[in-house]
Structure 1
């Protein structure tokens, strides 16, 4: 089994067409087909069903695809790791992060890292925590900022780095500086004005809901069901920016991290209180919080570039925490 054969197999599996795969790889189609046949002979299985010109994966092909992608990703990482040994002048960091972090403090961390290591390529993938965990285990990312706890016990090491408040986002009233056009929206999605809200306050209220793959979606739906009611969606399927805009115009309310409301005068955030039982246990005070962790695969050592990024991130959080420079509702769990 050769790496070239695995690369050809992955290309055909992704485009489901031998000629198109050959064009993408810039090789002759007969040569690509020959290597695929050699791989099938080596494994003694058929990887593709070619009935009536339709290319589909066989069960053996379905089983091989994620493994082949991981092998190729690890080989690419090894190649870059060797290149990085020359004083981190070359290399790559593939980082996953949730939308709230991408819209918040991550930009400052990336700026600091780029200034220190201008030759390192930065690739950022934005997505929900579950999506990022999946990409980490596939080898498509070096590390990711994800929400704890992780679901399904994936083979990842995690370092808790910060804790953030969850709030109910709703249209701001005029006394909070909201523009005039948002006043009808504020009435449509009006919430009780309290220091804290409970999940029960969302009963029968229209919610703006994230697409599947966002941990906030599962957390919100789970909390509503635990409180004895099924949430009602006004609209669902958005990314973070879309969800905030939908709330701003009055389609409904949404549960979001407090840091994403910075610089959005058309929105107000009301902290969510813990359920009574958890509040009595004294967990993190009265507000509902979530923990963000830096995660990477257990079976793969971090590259020199990835370790340098981890050090940059942790140093930034320590300094920002001491200087009071973290966004409202965010506290660092990293201590110098």
Structure 2
């Protein structure tokens, strides 16, 4: 199953063998043996590419769950003897401000050096889904005030507002405060439509009765800042995150969009590594069913 997952993710038998630290012939032999046992092919192989068959697509999620369960079992046995090991999978939106995430990961690593840390950045709705599926142990989100993460356990970290970000020389650059109405005629850069980061802004403009044009849809705040810096558009970012771009002007808004930062984890009992990370963050973990 480990070999199947590796081939599915790399789309290449050679790279999969390198990842699994085996020779390619051994990996190919084991996958062929599994296919004979299952009575169907898991991969379509050509000279140019490897792709999953419909049977392979059906097999892959179960294979991942089985591997995660085996890793979890090993971690639970180690925890019973007082040792934290295994894997800690963390996800976060790019604009986390309630926690110094890199510092928290360093503290965790110093305390639990045998735990392998993996990290994924993404949109809040994607991260919730990954936690629900068990692909992530914990995740940091940013949601509109009226939204709550569903199907997971969660802890509210902080509340805040967005500020307008404008380039040097912009007519509003010297002002301390403005309104959404005064921004209506500006081209905007924002997160993709439908994402939590975009919904909070769209809701604020709708509440103010203001129509705006989102000319640029971007997933990373760094590239947003680059476009703003060039004078192509203006944008909005969390007030606590704005100091990351000191060359841009951050302007408070009378009717600013609000957001809430959450830390979430599985609604079932967290893994030993996840529980240890929550402890590093000072987050209480209620007892839940296994």
TM-score grouping bracket, smaller chain normalisation: 0.7 to 0.9
Structure 1 84/202 Cα, relative in aligned 2: closer, same or farther at 3 Å? farther
Q: In structure 1, which of residues 151, 154, 170 is the aligned counterpart of residue 166 of structure 2?
A: 170
Runs of 4+ residues over 6 Å off in structure 1: 149-153
User: In the aligned structure 2, how far is the partner of 1:245 from the partner of 1:191?
Assistant: 16
Match 1:14 to one of 9, 28, 34: 9
**Distance change >3 Å, CA 63–CA 224, structure 1 → 2:** farther
Match of 1:105 in 2: 100
Work out whether residues 144 and 296 of structure 1, in 8 Å CA contact, stay in contact via their aligned partners in 2.
Answer: yes
Matched, 1:262 2:243: yes
Matches within 5 A, 1:183-194: 183=169, 186-187=170-171, 190=172, 193=175
Decide whether the 8 Å contact of 1:8 with 1:21 is kept in 2: yes
Say whether the 8 Å CA contact 1:127–1:214 is kept in structure 2: no
Q: Where in structure 1 are there 5+ consecutive unaligned residues?
A: 1-5, 172-181, 275-286, 317-336
Deviation at 1:91, TM superposition (A): 4.7
Once the two structures are superposed, residues 40-68 of structure 1 have per-residue CA deviations (whole angstroms, 9 ceiling, x without a partner) of: 34444432234676432222222222332
Is 1:243 the equivalent of 2:247?
Answer: no
RMSD: 3.7
Q: How far 1:21 moved relative to its partner? A: 2.9
Query: How does the TM-score come out when normalised to structure 2?
Result: 0.77
The equivalent position to 1:293 in structure 2, one of 262, 276, 289, is: 262
- Contact 1:92 1:123 (C-alpha < 8 Å) held by counterparts: yes
Write the deviation string for residues 176-230 of structure 1: whole angstroms up to 9, x where unpaired: xxxxxx33xx24xx379474523x4443312123467953234435655674635
Contact 1:209 1:254 in 2 (8 A): yes
Match of 1:27, SS?
A: coil
Tell me, what secondary structure is at the counterpart of 1:306?
A: helix
The alignment's TM-score, normalised by the length of structure 1, stands at 0.68
Alpha-carbon contact 1:46-1:58 (below 8 Å) kept: yes
Per-residue deviation, 1:145: 1.0
